[in-house]
Amino acid sequence: MNTQIMRVVKQGEAFAVQSQKSESGQMMKCNIVLQEMGGKYENQYAAAMLGNMAQCKFAPGALVAVTLRFTAREYNGQVYQDILVTDIEKLKG
């Protein structure tokens, strides 16, 4: 996992999801779209922020230092990729 500087494209609202790992049985989740630095056609990633991190708000265009974890899993014969934000911090600018 490498930390990269990316730009926030958009961020959804936080919502509760079922979680067996949480004491209350629920965890907050928020989806965020991040884009690599460069031109307007650079790679974009739709990632999930979980727990307390899901409560953080980032404006479109904000620069962030972010660490992403990529995982793949198989379900019903299909392979799905998940991208999870493991660390994110807004850069001053």
| Ordered structural domains, the chain, with CATH | 3-90 (2.40.50.140)
pLDDT of 93 higher than 70? no
CA dihedral 90, 42, 3, 46 (to 10 degrees): 70
Residue 21: pLDDT band (50, 70, 90) is: confident
Rounded CA separation 90/8 (Å): 10
Tens of pLDDT along 23-74? 778 999 999 999 999 988 999 999 999 999 999 999 999 999 999 999 999 9
In this prediction the pTM is: 0.89
